[in-house]
């Protein structure tokens, strides 16, 4: 019997359906999921998409706290999975693209936190305008995607690239999860 929830992180550039996919996976498996803290933080701060470098560290720490809280809840509920929308790789890419550096605290979190699986969302969905999004340019989206893929290739946790819209993306994600962890 499994003692802890299996942690599956959904990552990728902005506007690739991460939150929707996490919600759909959590609904399918009747489990909880951990939302992206950045959106909550920026909305609470009334920043309307504007941030400073120091905000990224606050967001990263908030993301970790939220993830730990969701993990505790999933463990208490004896959930099989916990789906996590965004991790420190996302924060690393964001920080490096915005400020050409990444705080050591984020890098340390990448090194010490353990996950069981990653779902990398492709950029095959159309970019949806949102005041909190920054990169509508297709070349920039491709560049960001390449960074995520490179990060995942060079770390030990298995991952699957998921493509397709809505139901197809969900189906492909479910198939990958069931192949890895059984049904």
Looking at residue 35, which CATH number applies to its domain? 3.40.50.300
Who contacts 43 (Cβ-Cβ below 8 Å, separation ≥6)? 132
3-state class (DSSP) for residue 81: strand
d(CA 103, CA 25): 31
Domain of 157? 6-181
Residue 2's pLDDT is what?
66
The arithmetic mean of pLDDT across residues 110-119, rounded, is: 98
What is the maximal distance between C-alpha atoms in the chain? 47
Q: Is residue 1 part of a domain?
A: no
Residue 110 binned pLDDT confidence (cut-offs 50, 70, 90): very high
Helix (H/G/I), strand (E/B), else coil: 141? helix
Q: What is the pLDDT of residues 53-89, one digit of tens each?
A: 999 999 999 999 999 999 999 999 999 999 999 999 9
Evaluate whether residue 105 is within a structural domain: yes
State mean pLDDT over 141-159.
97
Residue 122 falls within a domain, yes or no? Answer: yes
pTM above 0.85, yes or no: yes
Q: Is 139 part of any domain?
A: yes
Total structural domains in the chain? 1
């Amino acid at each position: 019997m499994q003692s802890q929830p299996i942690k599956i992180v959904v990552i990728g550039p902005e506007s690739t359906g991460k939150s929707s996919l996490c919600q759909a996976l959590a609904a399918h498996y009747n489990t909880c999921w951990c939302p992206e803290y950045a959106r909550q933080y920026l909305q609470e701060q009334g920043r309307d998409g504007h941030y400073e470098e120091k905000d990224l560290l606050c967001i990263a720490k908030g993301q970790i706290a939220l993830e730990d809280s969701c993990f505790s809840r999933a463990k208490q509920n004896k959930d099989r999975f916990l789906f996590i929308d965004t991790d420190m790789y996302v924060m690393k890419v964001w920080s490096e693209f915005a400020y050409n550096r990444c705080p050591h605290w984020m890098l340390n979190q990448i090194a010490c936190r353990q996950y069981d699986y990653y779902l990398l969302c492709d950029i095959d969905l159309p970019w949806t305008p949102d005041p909190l999004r920054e990169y509508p340019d297709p070349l920039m989206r491709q560049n960001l995607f390449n960074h995520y893929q490179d990060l995942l290739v060079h770390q030990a946790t298995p991952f699957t690239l998921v493509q397709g819209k809505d139901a197809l993306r969900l189906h492909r994600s479910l198939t990958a999860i069931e192949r890895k962890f059984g049904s």
